[in-house]
Amino acid sequence: MLGGDKIWRNKVTIFDAEAGGCDLFDIDELRDENSPDEFANLYECEFIDDSLSVFSFAELKRAMIDADVEWSDYRRYSERPFANMPVWVGQDASLGGDNSSIAVVAPPAAPGGKFRLLELLSMRGANYETQAETLRRMTQKYNVQYMALDVTGGHGSAVHELVVKFYPRAKGFTYDVDFKSRMVLKAQSIFHKSRFEMDASETDLVRAFLSIRKTLTHSQKNLTFEASRNNQTGHADAAWAVMHTLINEPLDEKTVGRKRSFMGIY
């Protein structure tokens, strides 16, 4: 079959698999776990439609690389994967049974350089103590120079209260229309300028970014950004966790300080 990108493919949908006798899945359950667009993309071989998203699929795809090949200074399975190089950590806290995500990002070595997603953790149903303990382990594994947490409802404030005991500099962000807008604008700029890299395996993160769309606030007076909810992307928690790190760079990256040097000891 000729696809939307003019490439011929052998297309097998989940319904084809069911008709062929495969009974390893429950289609109704999969529909409940995914939005209609995501179900069509994941199980019906339909192309992703990013027309309603505030992020471009083409720009997100351009950021995907083979990290094990491209990043010579990153050793995924080492006790200190990034040696003593600085990292920024962002967390989007769990809302009860919702997902919680932690993003570890290497900031640019020089103004205008690239951000690199070193590690992305997703925890479902984790209590505030487990979330805080996971962040503590990140401070032992990496040279964390900046940490930002969402403290808007849920377990966010409780996680932050525990985290500041071992990392006093941890920032707590309360979401409002202005802050969400600044985070999205910064991320859009970074992706548009090809200033972000992530491993090609981070497909859930791509879907999380694509699930973020413009919508009206409850008062119908202002535009804000929300995500369609499903069991894989939650409320795009992985994307928000990454954006917590990106916003640490001023909207104008030219105002960032001069390049610094670091010695790596693995």
Assigned fold of 57-255? Nucleotidyltransferase; domain 5 (3.30.420)
**Nearest residue to 175 via CA among 157, 193, 196:** 157
Q: How far apart are CA 4 and CA 15, in angstroms?
A: 20
| pLDDT for 40 beyond 80 | no
Average pLDDT in the chain: 85
The pLDDT of residue 258: 47
Which residues of the chain does CATH 3.30.420.240 include? 57-255
Average pLDDT score over residue span 234-252: 90
The pLDDT of residue 11: 79
The pLDDT of residue 3: 61
Longest dimension (CA), the chain: 62
pTM to 2 decimals? 0.77
| pLDDT for 214 beyond 90 | no
Cβ(104)–Cβ(80) under 8 Å?
A: no
